[in-house]
């Protein structure tokens, strides 16, 4: 599963805008916009999600699930869990 934050971050790493990602994936621009505006996990048709994820993968972005080790190497970004507030 991909989150809206991951999708925005992946796009930023590639330096592409929403329109370019739509073209890369064969998905409409409004669909990309809806996906990025989602709260938490992106919801949508499985085929559409697959197209976007595959386009990101072809472009060199590895989407890393929570608590999964990245073995591909290379540079990347990972969101750490928030630290508890000091009492």
Q: What is the pLDDT of residue 75?
A: 66
Instruction: Enumerate the domain spans of the chain.
Output: 4-58
Question: 27 Cβ partners below 8 Å, 6+ apart?
Answer: 21, 48, 51, 52
The pLDDT, as a whole number, for residue 76 is 67
Least confident of 45-49, 58-62, 72-76, 81-85: 72-76
- Encode pLDDT of 1-55 as tens digits: 788 999 999 999 999 999 999 999 999 999 999 999 998 889 889 999 999 999 9
| pLDDT for the residue 77 | 67
User: Can you identify the CATH homologous superfamily of domain 4-58?
Assistant: lambda repressor-like DNA-binding domains (1.10.260.40)
The CA–CA distances, whole Å, from 15 to 31, 54, 69, 75, 81 equal 19, 17, 24, 15, 25
């Amino acid at each position: 599963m991909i989150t809206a934050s991951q999708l925005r971050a992946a796009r930023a790493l590639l330096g592409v805008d929403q329109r370019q990602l739509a073209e890369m994936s064969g998905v409409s621009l409004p669909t990309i916009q809806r996906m990025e505006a989602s709260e938490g996990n992106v919801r949508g048709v499985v085929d559409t999600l697959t197209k976007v994820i595959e386009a990101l993968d072809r472009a060199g972005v590895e989407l890393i699930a929570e608590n999964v080790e990245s073995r591909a190497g290379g540079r990347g970004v990972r969101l750490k869990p928030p630290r508890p507030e000091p009492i």
